[in-house]
Amino acid sequence: MKSVSVRERFQIGRAALLRGLNPWRRGSVALPLLAGAILLIASGATAETTNSLSGAEIQGRQLAQQLCEASVENSTNTGVLKIRDAEGKRGEIPVKCEVIVTATNWQSVYETTDVDSNRVTLKVIHASDGPNVYSLTVYYRPPVKVADQLLLFKTRMLNDNELMTPFAGSDFWLADLGLEFFHWPEQKVLKKEFRRNCSCVVLESTNPNPATNGYSRVDSWIDEESGGIVMARAYDAQDRLLKEFYPKDVKKVNGQWQVESMEIDNVQTGSRTRLEFDLKSP
């Protein structure tokens, strides 16, 4: 397989994670994550003129808005979560992702199984005129078996604190799948920095009301040339480093380079989750 430079790795259709961790869209990169060429100040963007914001905060809000408003396409694909927990035990969980575009919004839907082998579906609804909406549906069989019995299900809407919980026991939290940190009101461009052979803009997203077990802020390194996110770091409520995220391997499918895997590490517990995608040609 042809080698791929670090910069190419983040240029390969750089918007998937920015679409609610949708790494399966053709020609897209997961992160986060992850949307179009990212400029420090977008041409034609509506700048906020309030005196209460610094230039770095105005630029940060513009950049975060661009990431949230990335265009998407209908897509479906599968992958596997390879988990190494804090005790070193390893496991694999299949996962399916579907992106559905409607006239008023777009939805990212993640389907997997929980520890009790029940089918679990997480739906994230993204709208341009409001916050993300999260719902979790658990499908299960009643204790009394009946011939041709249909699965029952329970659906509930999730509040902000519930988003800081693992998806299928992995190191990816529900908030990660919706890239919730780009929707926080406090965004700031910190600096420019060379990282992983790329010239990057560092965007700091700060949670104004962090949960005890949640993120207080997330720093994202965004490649100035490609618009891809080179890496991201999340900090806990005590502002201690909690997680690191970065894309890994790439593969050429039907003439297009696509991210084959990504990794997220919990530096406090030592756990790690690697998300590998099924990139077989149709």
Calpha distance 273→48 (Å, rounded): 38
Threshold 0.85, pTM exceeds: no
Question: CA torsion angle for 62, 63, 64, 65 (degrees, to 10)?
Answer: 50
Calpha distance 195→221 (Å, rounded): 8
**Residue 184 included in any domain:** yes
The CATH number of whichever domain residue 102 belongs to comes to 2.50.20.10
Calpha distance 131→23 (Å, rounded): 22
User: In this predicted structure, which of 13-22, 53-62, 187-196, 246-255 has the lowest mean pLDDT?
Assistant: 13-22
Q: How confident is the model at residue 164 (pLDDT cuts 50, 70, 90)?
A: very high
**Residue 180 included in any domain:** yes
SS (H, E, C) 104-162: CCEEEEEEEECCCCCEEEEEEEECCCCCCEEEEEEEECCCCCCCCCCCEEEEEECCCHH
**And the tokens for 60?**
């940060």
**Residue 3 included in any domain:** no
Calpha distance 83→218 (Å, rounded): 22
**Residue 92 included in any domain:** yes
Q: How confident is the model at residue 216 (pLDDT cuts 50, 70, 90)?
A: very high
For the chain, the domain total comes to 1
**Residue 5 included in any domain:** no
Tell me, what's the pLDDT at 148? 56
pLDDT in tens, 48-57: 445 688 888 9
**And the tokens for 195?**
């990282």
Tell me, what's the pLDDT at 250? 62
Query: Domain containing 129: what range?
Result: 10-277
**Residue 4 included in any domain:** no
**Residue 2 included in any domain:** no
pLDDT in tens, 73-109: 788 878 899 999 999 999 999 999 888 998 888 899 9
For residue 207, which of 243, 172, 181, 240 has the smallest C-alpha distance?
Answer: 181
Calpha distance 277→282 (Å, rounded): 14
Q: Are the CB atoms for 61 and 50 separated by under 8 Å?
A: no
**Residue 1 included in any domain:** no
Query: What average pLDDT does the segment 179-198 reach?
Result: 88
User: In this predicted structure, which of 106-120, 142-156, 237-251 has the lowest mean pLDDT?
Assistant: 142-156
